[in-house]
Structure 1
Amino acid sequence: MDPRRKPGRDGFPPDAPGRALLALRTVKPPRVAIDVSAGLHEGAGNARYVRELIHALLALPEPPVLLPYATAGPIDIETPSWLLGLGRKELRWRDRAWRALSLSSQITGIPLRKLLPEADLVHATNSIVPRLGGSPSVITVQDITFVSHPEAHSRLSRFHLRRMVPRACRRARLVIVPSRATAEELARRCGVDPSKMRVVPDGYDAARFTPRPGQDDAAALARYGIRAPYLLFLGTLEPRKNLLRLLDAFALLREQGLRHRLVLAGGLGWGYQPVLDRLATGEDGSVLRAGRVADRDLPALYRRAAALVYPSLFEGFGLPVLEAMACGTPVVTSNTSSLPEVAGNAALTVPPEDVPALAEAMHAVLTDEGVARRLRAEGPVRAMRFTWRETARGTAAVYQEAISLGTR
């Protein structure tokens, strides 16, 4: 290990909190083969990460040269035109087949570097990458719920990720994670060397996610049939989002006379049927499933909500918490995994398994104006720590460092 990167007591490099170190050597802008599959084919968190990261990287004063590649498959309706216009190397395989091929390459040791664009470095933005021979790589790992909360994944997903992620991380020069919590879990559960991990938090778009009302806010809510006052949950409907306990806590508040509605905004993920079954038993119209929300409408839903409630069991980062705080919306979230890193003291945090505590926190933000006023004021200030520009700067620094490691 380079003596200039002497680890701290916990084994992690002593980086500035939430930021990757700048490169130890200055190199020319690197040519980076970057996986944009999620940005083209998906619509949830990984898609947002890929789209925003690439947009911010290209806006840097000295941007890397990006050489996108992607799996085959249908293009998501919200894929921005500028991303489609970048040009990319399209692989012959769809996502599931590419995952299988990459894992086979990792296990057998057969390199598949020639399938990807020629570059100084490969960035696997979704942790999926084959053996690359001697070519350097950087891997992004958003979370390790496939180990920490296996019940939140399908059997096939668990099988693949448990075998792919540790192997890909061991062979990567550096590993990007969005939070300290994810870094610690990755080291503890998957045996990844802490000295090669760099914490580069996700960000938010400061031009869009703001407390200032937008002229189309009312129209955005009308598109989903949302009427104030309401509590908002935003995220994929899947087991780790802890929605059954959220519904239990909301039922407690309704028994106390709460007149707010609960809006569940987000697409269907895996294991969503118990949530739909619970909603089917409700008859008073107090819970609205809004479905997937267009990216352009997100700020309006945050701004008009009385509070965001996000009681997730585990997150690698927690983008809705950050975006809601940026909009000046009070937030109730979990005190586990990365969520306290994002929220700081600008949100109310509770144990996600404690339904009465969750109900009490929700009640506090709705009935105690002092609490609500404090959160509305502190949220935007806290959010300013995390922007996509900073994410891009940290990622570019990791690129340079990864390349420089091969020249020492």
Structure 2
Amino acid sequence: MKLLFVARRFPPDVRSGTETVFERLLAEARAAGHDVHLVAGFRRDRALLPAGTTAVDLRGRGATAWAAMPLAAMTAARRLRPDAVLSNSIEVRVPGVPTVTLVHDLNFGGDGEGAGARGRRLFYRVQAAGLARIVAVSEVTRQALLAIGVAPDKVVTIHNGVDLSRFVPSPRPPDSEVRLVHVSRVLSGKGQHCSLDALGRMRPDQRRGISLAIVGTVADATYADQLRVQAWNLPVQLHFDVQDVVPHYQSADIALFPTRMPEGFGYAAVEAMACGLPVVGFEDPAVAEATGGLAVLVPRDDIPAFRNAILRLATDPAERRRLGEAGRMFVQRYRWADTWRAYERVLEGAAGLLGR
């Protein structure tokens, strides 16, 4: 197939779970022999996008970025005449070309009840009517789309993949220290301050032998500064804007994922499980789905419960090992080859190529 991939953000210009998934889908499509062209926006530097990309300068554009991406996609489609479009930007709909859109979540900020959130829900519903299909990354996201009025036959669930050859357990020498790791974009919705708060609320004798590493790309510089202050005098290391998170998972014993925002999948939790780590976090339906119920989840913002769950695992190596092994086994279902084959069938169906 000749495919046009369209992304408002793309690594490493912007990196989160959403962008990481789309980057891997692009690589899988090319590895499968498809003729693929990428249209991508950038907010920092054009040079950070892959060579050959049709780049769209979104610096300083704010809300007008929503208009820039569809225009760039339509221009590229007229030139390239693709069989289908795969986008992770709901605003992209190319007339005359079957468009499949990937949706991670419907997190519109705030309590989701303001005029802005209502407007976005309406926009999603209107856009969906003109799309060939929508891929939801979890059943939770699919149900959220149906709840705002998207037709059931438009939406298919395909869970994200994880690179099981990179995210692997790495036995480390036994010592008395229990190492916690919190990997996520650095912004308040990901709850890094909750991990620090839980550590800070441990008694000195409980905290002895426990350390925490906070790892991630800084999405909110002010919040990152607040974390630096909060981490003062605690056994904490801050690793911001690292290129590779795998070594940080592999050197840890427990992964923390106290997300305070509605997730579509919970990518960092699944990566941690692939590395053989037990996961402790806040209750979230998509995280529970993605982790198969194996993550230890407590009510959102209940820091004492979060602290206690961490301490239970920190003092029980056998339970850590059991959960880690069960998690590694569970995420075998997220192989990228299988994920791409599911996308390929959706794209072929949208383009009318199935059975040819």
Whether TM-score is above 0.5 comes out as yes
Q: Are 2:10 and 2:41, in contact at CA under 8 Å, matched by a contact in 1? A: no
Task: Show the 5 A alignment for 1:14-25.
Answer: none
Q: Relative contact order (alpha carbons < 8 A, sep ≥ 6): 1 or 2 greater?
A: 1
Aligned to 1:137: 99
- For residues 179-211 of structure 1, give each alpha carbon's deviation from its aligned partner in whole angstroms, at most 9, with x where no partner exists: 0111112222x3222221111111111111111
Q: Which runs of 5+ in 1 are unaligned?
A: 1-29, 218-227
Task: Show the 5 A alignment for 1:2-401.
Answer: 30-36=1-7, 38-40=9-11, 41-60=13-32, 63-71=33-41, 74-75=44-45, 84-85=50-51, 87-91=52-56, 93-94=57-58, 97=61, 100=64, 102-103=66-67, 113-116=74-77, 117-129=80-92, 131-146=93-108, 149=111, 164-188=123-147, 190-212=148-170, 229-259=178-208, 260-270=210-220, 273=222, 276-277=225-226, 279-295=228-244, 298-313=245-260, 314-401=262-349
TM-score, length-normalised on structure 2? 0.84
More strand by share: 2
Give the drift of 1:164: 4.9
Give the drift of 1:148: 7.0
Give the drift of 1:256: 4.9
TM-score, length-normalised on structure 1? 0.74
Aligned to 1:26: none
CA–CA distance in structure 1, aligned partners of residues 69 and 28 of structure 2: 32
SS in 2 for 1:376: helix
Give the drift of 1:294: 1.0
Q: Are 2:90 and 2:127, in contact at CA under 8 Å, matched by a contact in 1? A: yes
Q: Are 1:243 and 1:275, in contact at CA under 8 Å, matched by a contact in 2? A: no
What is the aligned-residue identity percentage? 23
Alpha-carbon distance change, 88 to 76 in structure 1, aligned in 2, over 3 angstroms? closer
Q: Are 1:112 and 1:132, in contact at CA under 8 Å, matched by a contact in 2? A: yes
Alpha-carbon distance change, 133 to 233 in structure 1, aligned in 2, over 3 angstroms? same
SS in 1 for 2:285: coil
The one-letter amino acid paired with 2:254 is A
SS in 1 for 2:212: strand
- For residues 39-86 of structure 1, give each alpha carbon's deviation from its aligned partner in whole angstroms, at most 9, with x where no partner exists: 3421222321122111122233xx43322222356558876xxxx35x
Aligned residues: 348
Give the drift of 1:163: 6.4
Q: Which runs of 5+ in 2 are unaligned?
A: none
